[in-house]
Structure 1
Amino acid sequence: MKQRLISGMTLAVLMVLVAFPLSFILLQAIFPQFSAGSLSGAFSGVSTLLAEPQLPTMLGGTLQIATGAALVSAVIGFPLGVVRGLFTLPLPRLWDLLFLIPFLTPPYIAALSWMLVLQTNGYLQQLTGINLNDLLFSKTGIVLVMALNIFPVIYFAVSRSLLASGQRLAMVARVHGASAARAFWHITLPMLSPALAAGMLLAFTLAIEEFGVPAALGTRAGVLMLTTDIEKKLADWPVDLSGASMLSVLLVVIALCAWALQKKLTGHHDVTSITGKPTENRGADAGAFTLPVVLVMALVGVVAVILPGASMALSGILGTLSGGVTIDNVTLSHYAALFSQQGDALSALGTSLSLALGTACITGCIGLLASWLVVVQKIKGRGVIDALSLMPAALPGVVVGVGLILLWNQPFWTISPYNSWVILLLSYCCLLLPWPVRYVGSALRQLSGNLEPAARVHGASAFQALRFIVLPLVSPVLLAAMLMVFAIASRELVTSLLLAPAGTQTVSVFIWRQFEQGSIGQGMAMATLTLMTGLVLMLTALGIMQRGVRR
């Protein structure tokens, strides 16, 4: 009885978080007057969308930027991941930590940091006289900024695949006369292809749904993307719900097509090595190549991490940008202003931390229950729960925002979370639910299948087995996933801009507004604190996961 109640409640929550918002987007896209309570003019929005003069430019810009970002991310992340997985490098965990920082840095903050470095009279021109303003505000600049933020997903996918599979098969090929290049091309590379394809798919998806970078750089670069136009249709008067819905559907279709293409290119089966007990590959000695490899990795670290990070930190302690990089211009007044009771920073920080904590707790509970029902209990209809819980991974944040607006801004609701902080909580929970589901689901698949049945034989109910056996075993992984959710939710931008009610600011909105108002110092001071908080939480999560694995 309790199992049915749990499965029913889990399905109901997933319907509210995922299925209903998507359904309302589709209804609004099909019936342009749906928000007004009318079902007339079905599919008339299609002709309106096709007649929009900027559609080819937006679609082309989105595909070009996303494809370019995915390719450049692969160019950077693939060779770095290969050398990290194949060779024993000095301080390997330091490189992992260094390349983790771009992933933790919100893309919009990275874009704003690069603006301060490369724009006219930016830090680079002040210190060296070099002006790269035209490069930054171009399609190439946008692609490079995105790629420098996204490439870690490919680096970690490739390096972890190599560390897990080892190089035993390639070594056997070398023993039988194959050259190093031939062994890599015919053995190692095919084994890496699923990880590389998955990483590039994720990079492409992250790029098409990105709002902050094109919003910060695209206007001056003359680049239009679907995400920025969706936000414009919702922010500018008159609000165009039908147009925003049509563009949201188009964005989801692009993401699904990318997923289908990845499946077609890599096939439906992974390349697997069956070589006995899995062990972590400790890597071969790079020999004379050690120094060049380390120098290349250090160069990438400087460009992707040190330069934007230094720009962020420096902007937070300079009194004015026009005052230049001098000792006399250094001040802590921006940090002092953040925590003064007269500003909005303290309120924004409290709002973000509260919402992030609530999101972590809710997604942790739902993720645990959904994974338990699908993996352990194997209930009827588990495919629906599994699909709904993982579907947000393919949904751009702007699409989730549009869906929640359409769902909860309806006149027939007597009580609605719209125009309150609850709508932000719902959006964060929808976007970040796949994190606990994936982590807990993976942990449950590694547990012995005899533990819960043994408890059931001795009289325990399914809920008791979940509480006293399953939960203690997966708690390290669950806590790690919740910490990651907390870190990401605390700086989410696009749905915060779309859904934040009047008078409510989150950290991301505060930073964005500070730049719009010209208060760059306070914005970057807050960005620095946000990055440090996310880094500490992520390291804590990784430490918890490693202790859980050792146990």
Structure 2
Amino acid sequence: MTTTTPPVAVRTPPEPAGPAPRRRRGPSPQVLIVGAAIVIVGYLAVVPLAYLFHDTFTGSRGLTFGAFARAYGGDTQAGQMMLNSLAFAVGSSALALVTGTVLAYVQVRTDVPFKGLLFAASLVPLIVPGILYAAAWIFLGDPTIGLVNTLLLRPIFGVNPVNVFSLEGMIWVQGLHLAPVAFLLMVAGFRAMDPSLEESAAMSGAHRLTVLRRITIPLLRPALISSALLMFVQSLESFEVPGLLGLQNNIYVFTSRIYFVLRQYPIDYGAAGAYALGLLAIAAAGVLLSGWLQRNARGFQTVTGKAFRPQPVHLGRARPWVGAGVVVFFVVTVVLPVGVLVYASLLKFYAAPSVEAIATMTLDNYASVIRNPLAGTALSNSLILGVGSATVVMLLSAVVSWVVVRTRLPGRRVLDLLAFTPIVIPGLVLGLALSFVYLRVPLPIYGTLFILLISYCTRYLPYGMRYSSSAMAQMSKELEESATVFGASWLQTFRRVLLPLASSGVLAGWVYILVVSFRELSSTILLYSPGNEVLSVLIWEQFENGQFTTLAALGVLMVVVLVGLVFIAYRLGARVGLQSDTDR
């Protein structure tokens, strides 16, 4: 018989106490980066407007409304200016919306031929800046030398009925320039709408026009309102078309009046601020009206969990005629403006096409542009500002979008609203507000490229937010949680997980902001200084000096550079995306 002794517990002496682990002091990189992004967004959105309000309502004796009296009272013809602004904005947005909606319906819901031409035409507003589009229509619709009058209408009617230097001409040019944008927006709306209701109405015996009027258009109400708002705000803030076309016949809108007041001596900054606040109030009212009209947007949702495939409407005998209309639209919006710019760039002095004019064609305008050192400086400045603003905006909006979409932090909706606020600030108003800030703040950046960079980043921050927020909303939180479980910090997760997965949306936003920054004029015209011109300002100066053929050559080169930048950006993005897919 064996006996077992219970184990004896052996007490080990305690280890000598060493130094306590050092805790990390100070905020983490996540807090620093997110906090800095919030401060920057608040500064960009609030400070310029605060200075604009302060300097407009404050005089030598304190609070005053004298600026408004000088701007809207007396013989300033402010009433006519406001009527012109509303007529221009409403007319051009209506033309763009109707044209874009009809073309989108034809593209998505019918068997029309030449569908590729519609998408080719939709690239025009991204590639051809507004100032070049307006200049092209001067060559086409001038009452004395315009090709539409000299080649088409004068031989038939004996008169020159087209005058692009009129309110109707302004509406026509702006509406055509915005129609492809409305087309792209409405194409998305048609593709997201379940056509079963339309097909049911057609099977019940309803006429095609009845289905369109009572089913299709009511279901498109949210998309129509959003598109109408965008067209209205962009027309209201447009400076290129009113500046090139309206000022020739003393047709003023808000933007051209602000520019005119700031070019007078002595400069009345208070009156300019009063005009800017009036323009801002109309734009904000349009945004509020759009939100009120879309308050019941859920009642128009037709996309559910069930799959659908719309059946194209067979046009039958009308198919050739509708296809001819598509070709005509492509010719009017793309071939004529771009073609007349190329034609004018090859002439020493602009003249209507003839044997003599064709015989004098030369490349001297391109040679003079290339030899001009100011053109090289403007190109370099445009590249720096385009790439810089696109990079800053997308990095900033990526961080802010993470806060808005991925967290539950209090105040994130306010942050989203602040980031969206600059969309209702017209470019000329933003330029004036920034001039109020940096003419008084002791920072030597007024008239430099840095103030232009601030202007571009403020102006296009809402667009960067839409791109990055949409991309991040599509990703599951499980990816971040998995990275955290394996020990990745927030910065590593953001840089190596979130950004690569959202690269498609971030790249699309980067390319868009690059293009629109490259062609920006309305805010730049008030903030640049000699030696810091960009290409759009250089084109404006060529127009003011009457150098129309040089302007055309510079514009053609600008379009070529833009096309090359977009091509390079997408090729690099495709390589990055392929590498990311391979790594995953």
TM-score scaled by length of structure 1: 0.92
Which residue identity is paired with 1:80? L
CA distances 1:75-104 after superposition (whole Å, capped 9, x unpaired): 322211111121233343331122321453
Is 1:6 matched up with 2:36?
no
Is 1:169 aligned to 2:197, yes or no? yes
CA RMSD of the aligned region, Å?
2.6
Higher helix share: 1
The 1-side partners of 2:563 and 2:348 are apart by 26
Letter in 1 for 2:358: I
Residue 350 in 1 paired to residue 377 in 2?
A: no
Deviation at 1:380, TM superposition (A): 2.4
Q: How far apart are 1:211 and its partner, in Å?
A: 0.8
- Deviations 1:389-412 (CA, angstroms, capped at 9, x unpaired): 2212221100110111001111x5
Q: Deviations over 1:115-149 (max 9, x none)?
A: 11222123334434626475312111111111011
1:124 aligns to what?
Answer: 148
Q: Is residue 317 of structure 2 the alignment partner of residue 293 of structure 1?
A: no
Q: 1:233 maps to what in 2?
A: 261
**Cα displacement (A) at 1:66:** 0.7
Partners of 1:9 and 1:312 lie apart in 2 by 45
Distance of aligned partners of 1:450 and 1:179 in 2 relative to their CA distance in 1, 3 Å threshold: farther
Distance change in 2, residues 1:480/1:537 (3 Å):
farther
Question: Residues 236-315 of structure 1: matches in 2 within 5 Å?
Answer: 236-270=264-298, 271-276=300-305, 281=310, 283-315=312-344
Q: CA deviation at 1:210?
A: 0.8
Q: Which stretch of structure 1 is more off in the superposition, 124-133 or 184-193?
A: 124-133
2:558 aligned partner: 530
CA distance in 2, matches of 1:459, 1:103: 43
Which has the larger Rg? 2
Deviations 1:47-89 (A, max 9, x none): 3334243211211110111111111212322211111121233
Give, in angstroms, the shift of residue 331 of structure 1. Answer: 0.7
Structure 2: gaps (5+ residues) = 1-27
Q: 2:105 aligned with 1:78, yes or no?
A: no
- Which sits farther off after the overlay, 329-338 or 260-269? 260-269
Do residues 364 (structure 1) and 394 (structure 2) align? Answer: yes
Superposed CA deviations along residues 448-469 of structure 1, whole A, max 9, x for unmatched, are 2322133233333322221121
1:417-456 to 2 correspondence within 5 Å?
417-456=445-484
Structure 1: distance between partners of 2:188 and 2:529: 42
Deviates more, 1:540-549 or 1:490-499: 540-549
Q: What does 1:45-84 correspond to in 2, within 5 Å? A: 45-52=67-74, 53-84=76-107
Contact 1:368-1:440 at 8 Å conserved across structures: yes
Counterpart selection for 2:368 from 328, 337, 346: 337
Q: Secondary structure at the match of 1:274?
A: coil
- Higher mean alpha-carbon deviation, 284-293 vs 79-88, is at 284-293
Q: Partner of 1:135: helix, strand, or coil?
A: coil
**Contact 1:312-1:525 at 8 Å conserved across structures:** yes
Task: Give the structure 2 partner of residue 42 of structure 1.
Answer: 64
Equivalent residues of 1:393, 1:434 under 8 A apart: yes
Kept in 2, the 8 Å contact 1:66–1:205? The answer is yes
Partner SS state of residue 494, structure 1: coil
CA contact 2:447–2:529 (8 Å) conserved in 1: yes
The 3 A distance-change label for structure 1 pair 360 and 132 is farther
Instruction: Tell me, in whole angstroms, the C-alpha distance in 2 between the residues paired with 1:184 and 1:453.
Output: 48
**Cα distance in 2 between the residues matched to 1:525 and 1:280:** 47
Q: Is the 8 A contact 2:185 2:227 kept in 1?
A: yes
- The letter for the 1-side match of 2:404 is V
- The residue aligned with 2:171 is 143
For residues 478-499 of structure 1, give each alpha carbon's deviation from its aligned partner in whole angstroms, at most 9, with x where no partner exists: 1121111111111111222111
Measure the CA separation in 1 of the matches of 2:341 and 2:365: 13
| Distance apart, 1:540 and its partner CA | 6.7
How many residue pairs are counted as aligned between the two chains? 543
Aligned 8 A contact 2:165 2:246 in 1: yes
Alignment of structure 1 residues 88-237 onto 2, 5 Å: 88-119=111-142, 120-128=144-152, 130=154, 132=160, 135-237=163-265
Q: How many angstroms apart in 2 are the aligned matches of 1:348 and 1:84?
A: 39
Gaps of 5+ in 1: 34-38
Tell me: CA distance 1:538–1:183, structure 2 relative to 1, closer, same or farther (3 Å). farther
| Residues 208-248 of structure 1, C-alpha deviations (whole Å, 9 max, x = no match) | 10111111111233311110111122222211111111111
Q: State how far apart, in whole Å, the 1-side matches of 2:111 and 2:527 are.
A: 48
User: 1:36 is matched with which residue?
Assistant: none
| Residues 476, 545 of structure 1: 8 Å contact kept | no
CA spacing shift, 1:336–1:64, aligned 2, 3 Å: same
Quick one: distance in 1 between partners of 2:376 and 2:505? 31
* Pair 538,391 (structure 1): closer, same or farther in 2 beyond 3 Å: farther
| Greater displacement, 98-107 / 213-222 | 98-107
Q: Deviations over 1:133-178 (max 9, x none)?
A: 7531211111111101111222112121112224233223334554
Instruction: Tell me by how many angstroms 1:472 deviates.
Output: 0.6
- Taking a change above 3 Å as real, the CA distance of residues 458 and 23 of structure 1, as seen in their structure-2 partners, is same
For residue 11 of structure 2, what is the aligned residue in structure 1? none
Structure 1 residues 283 and 257 mapped into 2: Cα distance closer, same or farther (>3 Å)? same
Which amino acid counterpart does residue 80 of structure 2 have in structure 1? T
TM-score, normalised via structure 2 length: 0.87
Which residue matches 1:409? 439
Q: Distance in 2 between matches of 1:184 and 1:324?
A: 44
Is the CA contact 1:102–1:305 (under 8 Å) kept in the aligned structure 2?
Answer: no
Does the Cα contact within 8 Å between 1:163 and 1:280 map onto a contact in 2? no
Question: Identical aligned pairs, as a percentage?
Answer: 28
Q: Which residue of 1 aligns with 2:44?
A: 17
Question: Equivalent residue of 2:64, what SS?
Answer: coil
Q: State how 1:381-392 maps to structure 2 within 5 Å.
A: 381-392=411-422
Distance 1:386 1:359 in 2: 19
Separation in 2, partners of 1:362, 1:377: 22
Q: Comparing 313-322 with 207-216, which one deviates more in the overlay?
A: 313-322
The amino acid that maps onto 1:31 is T
| Structure 2: distance between partners of 1:405 and 1:133 | 42
SS in 2 for 1:136: coil
The separation in 1 between residues aligned to 2:352 and 2:69, in whole angstroms, is: 53
Secondary structure of the equivalent of 1:275? coil
Within 1, Cα distance between the matches of 2:338 and 2:457?
A: 29
Is 1:30 equivalent to 2:30 in the alignment?
Answer: no
Aligned AA (1:40)? G
Structure 1 residues 183 and 30: CA distance shift in structure 2, 3 A: same
- How far apart, CA to CA, are the structure 2 residues paired with 1:349 and 1:279? 48
Per the TM alignment, residue 182 of structure 1 is displaced from its structure 2 partner at its CA by 3.6
**Aligned-residue offset at 1:436:** 1.7
Compared with structure 1, are the counterparts of its residues 41 and 235 closer, same or farther at alpha carbon in structure 2 (3 Å cutoff)?
same
Match of 1:316 among 322, 330, 345: 345
How far apart in 1 are the matches of 2:309 and 2:499?
27
Q: Deviations over 1:3-53 (max 9, x none)?
A: 2212210122113322111111111122135xxxxx713334333334243
- Code of the residue aligned with 1:62 in structure 2: it is S
Distance 2:290 2:542 in 1: 40
CA distance in structure 2 between the aligned counterparts of 1:255 and 1:20, rounded to whole angstroms = 19
